[in-house]
Structure 1
Amino acid sequence: MFTGIVEAVGEVVEATPKSGDLSLRIRTGKLDLADVALGDSIATNGVCLTVVDLPGDGFRADVSRESLSLTTIGQWRPGQCVNLEKALLPTTRLGGHIVSGHVDGFGEVVSRQADARSERFRLRAPEQLAHYIAHKGSITVDGTSLTVNRVEGAEFELNIVPHTLAETIMGEYKPGTQVNLEVDVLARYLERLLQGGGKTEPQGMTAEFLAEHGFK
Protein backbone atom coordinates (compact mmCIF):
# COMPACT_ATOMS: atom_id res chain seq x y z
CA MET A 1 0.00 0.00 0.00
CA PHE A 2 1.01 3.61 -0.63
CA THR A 3 -0.09 7.14 0.25
CA GLY A 4 0.22 8.85 -3.13
CA ILE A 5 2.84 11.27 -1.75
CA VAL A 6 5.70 11.09 -4.24
CA GLU A 7 9.11 10.71 -2.56
CA ALA A 8 11.40 11.17 -5.56
CA VAL A 9 11.54 11.44 -9.32
CA GLY A 10 13.47 8.63 -10.98
CA GLU A 11 14.44 7.75 -14.52
CA VAL A 12 13.87 4.78 -16.79
CA VAL A 13 17.28 3.34 -17.70
CA GLU A 14 16.16 0.23 -19.57
CA ALA A 15 12.84 -1.11 -20.82
CA THR A 16 13.66 -4.48 -22.33
CA PRO A 17 11.10 -6.87 -23.89
CA LYS A 18 11.52 -10.30 -22.32
CA SER A 19 9.62 -13.44 -23.39
CA GLY A 20 6.39 -11.56 -24.07
CA ASP A 21 6.50 -9.10 -21.18
CA LEU A 22 8.99 -6.45 -20.00
CA SER A 23 12.02 -5.99 -17.75
CA LEU A 24 12.55 -2.51 -16.34
CA ARG A 25 15.56 -0.86 -14.76
CA ILE A 26 14.81 2.35 -12.86
CA ARG A 27 17.38 4.82 -11.53
CA THR A 28 15.92 6.15 -8.29
CA GLY A 29 17.74 9.46 -7.77
CA LYS A 30 17.31 10.79 -4.22
CA LEU A 31 15.05 7.90 -3.10
CA ASP A 32 16.72 6.19 -0.13
CA LEU A 33 16.99 2.46 -0.88
CA ALA A 34 18.81 1.57 2.36
CA ASP A 35 15.73 -0.15 3.78
CA VAL A 36 14.59 -1.73 0.48
CA ALA A 37 15.06 -5.47 -0.03
CA LEU A 38 14.36 -7.89 -2.86
CA GLY A 39 10.62 -8.52 -3.03
CA ASP A 40 9.67 -5.08 -1.70
CA SER A 41 7.25 -2.86 -3.61
CA ILE A 42 7.92 0.56 -5.13
CA ALA A 43 5.16 2.56 -6.82
CA THR A 44 6.50 3.79 -10.15
CA ASN A 45 4.16 6.30 -11.81
CA GLY A 46 1.51 4.71 -9.64
CA VAL A 47 2.24 1.10 -10.64
CA CYS A 48 3.19 -1.24 -7.80
CA LEU A 49 6.40 -2.92 -8.97
CA THR A 50 8.25 -5.69 -7.15
CA VAL A 51 12.01 -5.22 -6.73
CA VAL A 52 13.85 -8.18 -8.28
CA ASP A 53 17.36 -6.69 -8.29
CA LEU A 54 19.19 -3.78 -6.63
CA PRO A 55 22.06 -2.77 -8.93
CA GLY A 56 23.18 0.11 -6.72
CA ASP A 57 21.67 3.22 -8.26
CA GLY A 58 18.12 1.91 -8.46
CA PHE A 59 16.16 -1.29 -8.97
CA ARG A 60 14.95 -3.76 -11.56
CA ALA A 61 11.39 -5.04 -11.89
CA ASP A 62 9.46 -7.38 -14.17
CA VAL A 63 6.22 -6.16 -15.72
CA SER A 64 3.47 -8.61 -16.63
CA ARG A 65 1.30 -8.47 -19.73
CA GLU A 66 -1.66 -7.54 -17.48
CA SER A 67 0.19 -4.46 -16.24
CA LEU A 68 1.27 -3.57 -19.76
CA SER A 69 -2.36 -3.66 -20.92
CA LEU A 70 -3.68 -1.37 -18.16
CA THR A 71 -0.87 1.16 -17.74
CA THR A 72 1.38 3.45 -19.76
CA ILE A 73 4.49 1.30 -19.07
CA GLY A 74 4.53 -0.04 -22.62
CA GLN A 75 5.21 3.54 -23.79
CA TRP A 76 8.14 4.14 -21.44
CA ARG A 77 11.55 4.70 -22.99
CA PRO A 78 15.04 5.22 -21.52
CA GLY A 79 15.40 8.75 -20.19
CA GLN A 80 11.76 9.12 -19.19
CA CYS A 81 11.16 10.50 -15.69
CA VAL A 82 8.85 8.64 -13.29
CA ASN A 83 7.32 9.31 -9.87
CA LEU A 84 8.55 7.01 -7.09
CA GLU A 85 7.18 6.05 -3.68
CA LYS A 86 8.20 3.20 -1.37
CA ALA A 87 5.50 1.09 0.26
CA LEU A 88 4.16 2.65 3.44
CA LEU A 89 5.03 1.46 6.95
CA PRO A 90 2.65 1.25 9.96
CA THR A 91 4.31 4.45 11.23
CA THR A 92 3.97 6.35 7.93
CA ARG A 93 1.93 9.55 7.96
CA LEU A 94 -1.03 9.10 5.63
CA GLY A 95 -0.63 12.46 3.95
CA GLY A 96 -2.52 11.54 0.79
CA HIS A 97 -5.06 8.70 0.67
CA ILE A 98 -4.96 4.92 0.56
CA VAL A 99 -3.39 3.88 -2.75
CA SER A 100 -2.99 0.24 -3.79
CA GLY A 101 -0.65 0.74 -6.74
CA HIS A 102 -3.06 -1.29 -8.90
CA VAL A 103 -3.72 1.03 -11.83
CA ASP A 104 -7.27 0.95 -13.19
CA GLY A 105 -6.45 2.35 -16.61
CA PHE A 106 -4.90 5.33 -18.30
CA GLY A 107 -6.27 8.77 -18.95
CA GLU A 108 -5.17 11.72 -21.03
CA VAL A 109 -4.32 15.35 -20.32
CA VAL A 110 -6.82 17.50 -22.23
CA SER A 111 -5.61 20.98 -21.30
CA ARG A 112 -3.31 22.94 -19.03
CA GLN A 113 -3.44 26.58 -18.04
CA ALA A 114 -1.90 28.88 -15.44
CA ASP A 115 -4.02 29.75 -12.40
CA ALA A 116 -2.07 32.31 -10.33
CA ARG A 117 1.00 30.37 -9.09
CA SER A 118 -0.69 27.02 -9.67
CA GLU A 119 -1.54 25.12 -12.84
CA ARG A 120 -5.02 23.89 -13.69
CA PHE A 121 -5.15 20.59 -15.55
CA ARG A 122 -8.13 18.99 -17.26
CA LEU A 123 -7.93 15.22 -17.80
CA ARG A 124 -10.14 12.66 -19.50
CA ALA A 125 -10.71 9.27 -17.88
CA PRO A 126 -11.94 6.09 -19.59
CA GLU A 127 -15.74 5.95 -19.60
CA GLN A 128 -15.78 2.86 -17.35
CA LEU A 129 -13.88 4.73 -14.62
CA ALA A 130 -15.68 8.08 -14.82
CA HIS A 131 -18.42 7.23 -12.31
CA TYR A 132 -15.82 6.60 -9.59
CA ILE A 133 -14.50 10.17 -9.81
CA ALA A 134 -16.23 12.66 -7.51
CA HIS A 135 -16.01 16.38 -6.85
CA LYS A 136 -13.53 16.92 -3.97
CA GLY A 137 -12.80 13.20 -3.96
CA SER A 138 -9.34 11.66 -4.32
CA ILE A 139 -7.70 10.23 -7.42
CA THR A 140 -4.18 8.97 -8.11
CA VAL A 141 -2.50 10.28 -11.26
CA ASP A 142 0.85 8.66 -12.07
CA GLY A 143 1.15 7.75 -8.38
CA THR A 144 0.32 11.23 -7.06
CA SER A 145 -2.62 11.61 -4.66
CA LEU A 146 -4.72 14.54 -5.89
CA THR A 147 -8.04 16.22 -5.10
CA VAL A 148 -10.62 16.51 -7.88
CA ASN A 149 -11.85 20.11 -8.24
CA ARG A 150 -14.51 19.61 -10.89
CA VAL A 151 -16.14 16.77 -12.82
CA GLU A 152 -17.96 16.92 -16.16
CA GLY A 153 -18.80 13.50 -17.55
CA ALA A 154 -15.55 11.62 -18.11
CA GLU A 155 -13.43 14.78 -17.71
CA PHE A 156 -12.15 16.20 -14.43
CA GLU A 157 -10.03 19.13 -13.28
CA LEU A 158 -7.07 19.35 -10.91
CA ASN A 159 -5.41 22.41 -9.41
CA ILE A 160 -1.69 21.68 -8.90
CA VAL A 161 0.37 23.83 -6.53
CA PRO A 162 4.01 24.76 -7.27
CA HIS A 163 5.45 22.22 -4.79
CA THR A 164 3.71 19.31 -6.50
CA LEU A 165 4.80 20.57 -9.92
CA ALA A 166 8.41 20.73 -8.72
CA GLU A 167 8.51 17.38 -6.88
CA THR A 168 6.67 15.18 -9.42
CA ILE A 169 6.61 14.72 -13.18
CA MET A 170 3.43 16.80 -13.52
CA GLY A 171 5.48 19.79 -14.58
CA GLU A 172 6.15 17.92 -17.84
CA TYR A 173 2.49 17.25 -18.64
CA LYS A 174 0.99 18.76 -21.78
CA PRO A 175 -2.18 18.11 -23.80
CA GLY A 176 -2.05 14.57 -25.13
CA THR A 177 0.11 13.17 -22.31
CA GLN A 178 -1.20 9.78 -21.17
CA VAL A 179 -1.23 9.06 -17.45
CA ASN A 180 -1.92 6.14 -15.12
CA LEU A 181 -5.13 6.47 -13.09
CA GLU A 182 -6.17 4.71 -9.91
CA VAL A 183 -9.59 5.60 -8.53
CA ASP A 184 -10.31 5.79 -4.81
CA VAL A 185 -10.56 2.24 -3.48
CA LEU A 186 -13.39 3.30 -1.13
CA ALA A 187 -15.55 4.12 -4.15
CA ARG A 188 -14.99 0.62 -5.52
CA TYR A 189 -15.95 -1.08 -2.24
CA LEU A 190 -19.03 1.11 -1.87
CA GLU A 191 -20.16 0.16 -5.37
CA ARG A 192 -19.68 -3.51 -4.52
CA LEU A 193 -21.76 -3.14 -1.35
CA LEU A 194 -24.55 -1.42 -3.27
CA GLN A 195 -24.50 -4.29 -5.76
CA GLY A 196 -25.07 -6.74 -2.92
CA GLY A 197 -21.74 -8.51 -3.17
CA GLY A 198 -22.70 -10.28 -6.39
CA LYS A 199 -26.06 -11.60 -5.14
CA THR A 200 -29.16 -11.37 -7.29
CA GLU A 201 -30.91 -9.07 -4.81
CA PRO A 202 -28.98 -6.32 -3.00
CA GLN A 203 -28.41 -7.19 0.67
CA GLY A 204 -27.61 -4.85 3.55
CA MET A 205 -26.44 -1.50 2.22
CA THR A 206 -28.51 -0.12 -0.65
CA ALA A 207 -29.02 3.28 -2.26
CA GLU A 208 -32.35 3.54 -0.40
CA PHE A 209 -30.68 2.66 2.91
CA LEU A 210 -28.05 5.38 2.41
CA ALA A 211 -30.69 7.97 1.44
CA GLU A 212 -32.75 7.16 4.55
CA HIS A 213 -29.72 7.78 6.75
CA GLY A 214 -28.76 11.12 5.25
CA PHE A 215 -26.27 10.06 2.55
CA LYS A 216 -27.65 11.69 -0.59
Structure 2
Amino acid sequence: MFTGLIEAIGTIRAVEPKPAGGRRLLLELPERLEIHVGDSLAVDGVCLTAVDVRGARVAVDVVLATERATTLGEAAPGRRVNVERALSAGGRFGGHFVTGHVDGIGTILAVRPEAGPGAGTEVWIEAPAALAPYLVPKGSIAVDGVSLTIQAVEGTAFQVALIPHTAAATTLGEKGVGAPVNLEADLIAKLVVRALDPYRRLFGRPDGAGGIGQ
Protein backbone atom coordinates (compact mmCIF):
# COMPACT_ATOMS: atom_id res chain seq x y z
CA MET A 1 0.00 0.00 0.00
CA PHE A 2 1.19 3.50 -0.87
CA THR A 3 0.04 7.05 -0.18
CA GLY A 4 0.72 8.87 -3.44
CA LEU A 5 3.28 11.14 -1.79
CA ILE A 6 6.38 10.79 -3.96
CA GLU A 7 9.66 10.30 -2.09
CA ALA A 8 12.08 10.75 -4.96
CA ILE A 9 12.52 10.98 -8.71
CA GLY A 10 14.54 8.11 -10.12
CA THR A 11 16.08 7.60 -13.55
CA ILE A 12 15.87 4.48 -15.69
CA ARG A 13 19.46 3.64 -16.62
CA ALA A 14 18.89 0.38 -18.51
CA VAL A 15 16.08 -1.76 -19.89
CA GLU A 16 16.82 -5.47 -20.26
CA PRO A 17 14.34 -7.76 -22.07
CA LYS A 18 13.73 -11.04 -20.23
CA PRO A 19 13.82 -14.35 -22.15
CA ALA A 20 10.35 -15.39 -20.97
CA GLY A 21 8.85 -11.98 -21.74
CA GLY A 22 8.67 -8.72 -19.88
CA ARG A 23 11.65 -6.61 -18.98
CA ARG A 24 13.96 -5.65 -16.16
CA LEU A 25 14.42 -1.96 -15.38
CA LEU A 26 17.58 -0.71 -13.72
CA LEU A 27 16.76 2.40 -11.72
CA GLU A 28 19.13 4.93 -10.24
CA LEU A 29 17.69 6.35 -7.03
CA PRO A 30 18.92 8.75 -4.35
CA GLU A 31 21.06 6.85 -1.85
CA ARG A 32 19.06 8.34 1.02
CA LEU A 33 16.26 5.88 0.22
CA GLU A 34 16.76 2.68 2.18
CA ILE A 35 15.69 -0.15 -0.13
CA HIS A 36 16.20 -3.89 0.27
CA VAL A 37 15.63 -6.85 -2.03
CA GLY A 38 11.96 -7.82 -1.80
CA ASP A 39 10.73 -4.32 -0.97
CA SER A 40 7.71 -2.97 -2.84
CA LEU A 41 8.16 0.24 -4.82
CA ALA A 42 5.66 2.33 -6.71
CA VAL A 43 7.36 3.37 -9.96
CA ASP A 44 5.21 5.93 -11.78
CA GLY A 45 2.34 4.48 -9.78
CA VAL A 46 3.07 0.83 -10.65
CA CYS A 47 3.72 -1.55 -7.75
CA LEU A 48 6.97 -3.42 -8.43
CA THR A 49 9.41 -5.49 -6.38
CA ALA A 50 13.08 -4.70 -5.90
CA VAL A 51 14.87 -7.83 -7.15
CA ASP A 52 18.43 -6.54 -6.91
CA VAL A 53 19.91 -3.63 -4.95
CA ARG A 54 23.46 -2.37 -5.41
CA GLY A 55 23.96 0.98 -3.77
CA ALA A 56 21.87 3.57 -5.60
CA ARG A 57 21.00 1.08 -8.38
CA VAL A 58 17.78 -0.89 -7.95
CA ALA A 59 16.46 -3.49 -10.40
CA VAL A 60 12.74 -4.22 -10.80
CA ASP A 61 10.99 -6.69 -13.09
CA VAL A 62 8.02 -5.73 -15.26
CA VAL A 63 5.90 -8.65 -16.48
CA LEU A 64 4.08 -8.69 -19.82
CA ALA A 65 0.68 -7.86 -18.31
CA THR A 66 2.14 -4.78 -16.62
CA GLU A 67 3.87 -3.73 -19.84
CA ARG A 68 0.54 -3.80 -21.66
CA ALA A 69 -1.46 -2.06 -18.93
CA THR A 70 0.91 0.77 -17.98
CA THR A 71 3.30 3.28 -19.51
CA LEU A 72 6.24 1.15 -18.34
CA GLY A 73 5.76 -0.86 -21.52
CA GLU A 74 7.36 2.10 -23.32
CA ALA A 75 10.05 2.72 -20.71
CA ALA A 76 13.46 3.67 -22.10
CA PRO A 77 16.82 4.62 -20.61
CA GLY A 78 16.91 8.22 -19.43
CA ARG A 79 13.25 8.36 -18.44
CA ARG A 80 12.63 9.94 -15.05
CA VAL A 81 10.08 8.21 -12.83
CA ASN A 82 8.25 8.93 -9.60
CA VAL A 83 9.24 6.56 -6.80
CA GLU A 84 7.58 5.81 -3.47
CA ARG A 85 8.34 3.06 -1.01
CA ALA A 86 5.48 1.08 0.52
CA LEU A 87 3.82 2.60 3.57
CA SER A 88 5.26 1.24 6.81
CA ALA A 89 3.06 0.32 9.76
CA GLY A 90 2.68 3.36 11.97
CA GLY A 91 3.87 5.73 9.25
CA ARG A 92 2.16 9.04 8.53
CA PHE A 93 -0.61 8.83 5.95
CA GLY A 94 -0.74 12.09 4.04
CA GLY A 95 -2.22 11.21 0.64
CA HIS A 96 -4.85 8.56 -0.08
CA PHE A 97 -4.95 4.77 -0.41
CA VAL A 98 -2.88 3.88 -3.49
CA THR A 99 -2.42 0.19 -4.31
CA GLY A 100 -0.05 0.49 -7.25
CA HIS A 101 -2.49 -1.41 -9.46
CA VAL A 102 -2.99 0.88 -12.45
CA ASP A 103 -6.53 1.06 -13.84
CA GLY A 104 -5.67 2.59 -17.20
CA ILE A 105 -3.53 4.99 -19.18
CA GLY A 106 -4.69 8.57 -19.56
CA THR A 107 -3.54 11.33 -21.89
CA ILE A 108 -2.77 14.92 -20.92
CA LEU A 109 -5.12 17.22 -22.83
CA ALA A 110 -4.07 20.65 -21.55
CA VAL A 111 -1.51 22.26 -19.26
CA ARG A 112 -2.42 25.79 -18.15
CA PRO A 113 -0.23 27.74 -15.72
CA GLU A 114 -2.29 29.84 -13.34
CA ALA A 115 -1.57 33.55 -12.97
CA GLY A 116 0.14 35.16 -10.01
CA PRO A 117 3.24 34.51 -7.88
CA GLY A 118 3.34 31.05 -6.38
CA ALA A 119 0.44 29.96 -8.56
CA GLY A 120 0.00 26.37 -9.61
CA THR A 121 -0.77 24.64 -12.89
CA GLU A 122 -4.12 23.38 -14.13
CA VAL A 123 -3.89 20.04 -15.95
CA TRP A 124 -6.68 18.32 -17.88
CA ILE A 125 -6.41 14.57 -18.48
CA GLU A 126 -8.49 12.25 -20.66
CA ALA A 127 -9.19 8.97 -18.87
CA PRO A 128 -10.32 5.64 -20.35
CA ALA A 129 -14.12 5.32 -20.42
CA ALA A 130 -13.99 2.51 -17.85
CA LEU A 131 -12.74 4.98 -15.22
CA ALA A 132 -15.60 7.46 -15.68
CA PRO A 133 -17.71 6.11 -12.75
CA TYR A 134 -14.82 6.81 -10.37
CA LEU A 135 -14.15 10.40 -11.44
CA VAL A 136 -15.73 12.53 -8.72
CA PRO A 137 -15.09 16.24 -8.09
CA LYS A 138 -13.09 16.61 -4.86
CA GLY A 139 -12.32 12.89 -5.01
CA SER A 140 -8.83 11.42 -5.22
CA ILE A 141 -6.89 9.93 -8.11
CA ALA A 142 -3.29 8.80 -8.56
CA VAL A 143 -1.56 10.16 -11.68
CA ASP A 144 1.81 8.49 -12.29
CA GLY A 145 1.67 7.57 -8.61
CA VAL A 146 0.99 11.12 -7.40
CA SER A 147 -2.00 11.61 -5.11
CA LEU A 148 -4.12 14.43 -6.52
CA THR A 149 -7.58 15.88 -5.98
CA ILE A 150 -9.99 16.01 -8.90
CA GLN A 151 -11.13 19.61 -9.35
CA ALA A 152 -13.62 19.17 -12.19
CA VAL A 153 -15.01 16.46 -14.46
CA GLU A 154 -16.30 16.73 -18.03
CA GLY A 155 -17.28 13.36 -19.46
CA THR A 156 -14.17 11.20 -19.31
CA ALA A 157 -11.86 14.19 -18.84
CA PHE A 158 -10.89 15.55 -15.45
CA GLN A 159 -8.89 18.46 -14.13
CA VAL A 160 -6.28 18.48 -11.37
CA ALA A 161 -4.17 21.30 -10.00
CA LEU A 162 -0.43 21.02 -9.38
CA ILE A 163 0.95 23.26 -6.67
CA PRO A 164 4.53 24.43 -7.34
CA HIS A 165 5.94 21.87 -4.89
CA THR A 166 4.23 18.94 -6.62
CA ALA A 167 5.35 20.16 -10.04
CA ALA A 168 8.95 20.38 -8.81
CA ALA A 169 9.06 17.22 -6.66
CA THR A 170 7.49 14.87 -9.22
CA THR A 171 7.75 14.29 -12.96
CA LEU A 172 4.29 15.77 -13.56
CA GLY A 173 5.82 19.22 -13.86
CA GLU A 174 7.81 17.98 -16.87
CA LYS A 175 4.91 16.52 -18.85
CA GLY A 176 3.16 18.29 -21.69
CA VAL A 177 0.10 17.86 -23.87
CA GLY A 178 -0.17 14.37 -25.33
CA ALA A 179 1.92 12.69 -22.64
CA PRO A 180 0.56 9.35 -21.40
CA VAL A 181 0.12 8.88 -17.65
CA ASN A 182 -0.76 5.95 -15.42
CA LEU A 183 -4.09 6.38 -13.65
CA GLU A 184 -5.35 4.62 -10.55
CA ALA A 185 -8.85 5.47 -9.37
CA ASP A 186 -9.58 5.91 -5.69
CA LEU A 187 -9.89 2.52 -3.99
CA ILE A 188 -12.88 3.60 -1.89
CA ALA A 189 -14.72 4.86 -4.98
CA LYS A 190 -14.13 1.53 -6.71
CA LEU A 191 -15.43 -0.42 -3.72
CA VAL A 192 -18.58 1.73 -3.51
CA VAL A 193 -19.33 1.38 -7.23
CA ARG A 194 -18.74 -2.37 -7.01
CA ALA A 195 -21.08 -2.68 -4.04
CA LEU A 196 -23.82 -0.80 -5.91
CA ASP A 197 -23.48 -2.82 -9.14
CA PRO A 198 -26.16 -5.42 -8.22
CA TYR A 199 -28.68 -2.65 -7.50
CA ARG A 200 -27.84 -0.87 -10.74
CA ARG A 201 -28.49 -4.06 -12.67
CA LEU A 202 -31.71 -4.66 -10.75
CA PHE A 203 -33.20 -1.16 -10.97
CA GLY A 204 -31.34 0.41 -13.85
CA ARG A 205 -30.07 -0.50 -17.28
CA PRO A 206 -27.64 -3.42 -17.65
CA ASP A 207 -24.81 -1.02 -18.47
CA GLY A 208 -25.32 0.74 -15.15
CA ALA A 209 -26.37 4.01 -16.79
CA GLY A 210 -29.80 4.03 -15.19
CA GLY A 211 -30.20 5.33 -11.66
CA ILE A 212 -31.68 3.35 -8.82
CA GLY A 213 -35.44 3.35 -9.18
CA GLN A 214 -35.42 4.15 -12.91
TM-score, L = length of structure 2: 0.89
1:121-160 correspondence runs (5 A) = 121-160=123-162
Q: CA deviation at 1:201?
A: 5.9
Q: CA deviation at 1:142?
A: 0.3
Structure 2 gap segments, 5+ residues each: 204-210
Which whole-Å CA distance do the structure 1 matches of 2:31 and 2:185 have between them?
28
The residue number in structure 2 matching 1:21 is 22
| Contact 2:31–2:55 under 8 Å retained in 1 | no
The residue number in structure 1 matching 2:206 is none
User: Identity of aligned pairs, percent?
Assistant: 41
Q: CA deviation at 1:94?
A: 1.0
| Contact 1:125–1:154 under 8 Å retained in 2 | yes
Which whole-Å CA distance do the structure 2 matches of 1:90 and 1:146 have between them?
23
Which whole-Å CA distance do the structure 2 matches of 1:94 and 1:58 have between them?
27
Which whole-Å CA distance do the structure 2 matches of 1:45 and 1:190 have between them?
26
Q: Residues 140 and 165 (structure 1 numbering): CA distance in 2 closer, same or farther, change over 3 Å?
A: same
The residue number in structure 2 matching 1:47 is 46
The residue number in structure 2 matching 1:59 is 58
Q: Secondary structure at the match of 1:97?
A: coil
Deviation track 1:66-99 (CA, whole Å, cap 9, x = no partner) reads: 1111100011111110000000012211110000
The residue number in structure 2 matching 1:214 is none
Q: Secondary structure at the match of 1:148?
A: strand
1:46-195 correspondence runs (5 A) = 46-116=45-115, 117-195=119-197
Q: Residues 184 and 3 (structure 1 numbering): CA distance in 2 closer, same or farther, change over 3 Å?
A: same
The residue number in structure 2 matching 1:2 is 2
Which whole-Å CA distance do the structure 1 matches of 2:165 and 2:150 have between them?
17
Q: Which amino acid counterpart does residue 191 of structure 1 have in structure 2?
A: V
Q: CA deviation at 1:32?
A: 1.2
Deviation track 1:115-170 (CA, whole Å, cap 9, x = no partner) reads: 13211111000111122111010000000000000000010111110000110001
Q: Quick check: 1:11 aligned with 2:18?
A: no
Q: CA deviation at 1:195?
A: 2.1
Which whole-Å CA distance do the structure 2 matches of 1:25 and 1:130 have between them?
34
Q: Secondary structure at the match of 1:109?
A: strand
Q: Which amino acid counterpart does residue 190 of structure 1 have in structure 2?
A: V
Which whole-Å CA distance do the structure 2 matches of 1:31 and 1:25 have between them?
17
Which whole-Å CA distance do the structure 1 matches of 2:169 and 2:71 have between them?
20
Which whole-Å CA distance do the structure 2 matches of 1:163 and 1:5 have between them?
11
Q: Which amino acid counterpart does residue 30 of structure 2 have in structure 1?
A: G
Which whole-Å CA distance do the structure 1 matches of 2:198 and 2:133 have between them?
18
Give the aligned CA root-mean-square deviation in angstroms: 1.8
Q: CA deviation at 1:29?
A: 2.1
Which whole-Å CA distance do the structure 1 matches of 2:197 and 2:80 have between them?
40
Which whole-Å CA distance do the structure 1 matches of 2:52 and 2:194 have between them?
37
Q: CA deviation at 1:208?
A: 5.4
Which whole-Å CA distance do the structure 1 matches of 2:36 and 2:161 have between them?
36
TM-score, L = length of structure 1: 0.88
The structure 1 segments of at least 4 consecutive aligned residues displaced by more than 3 Å after TM superposition are none
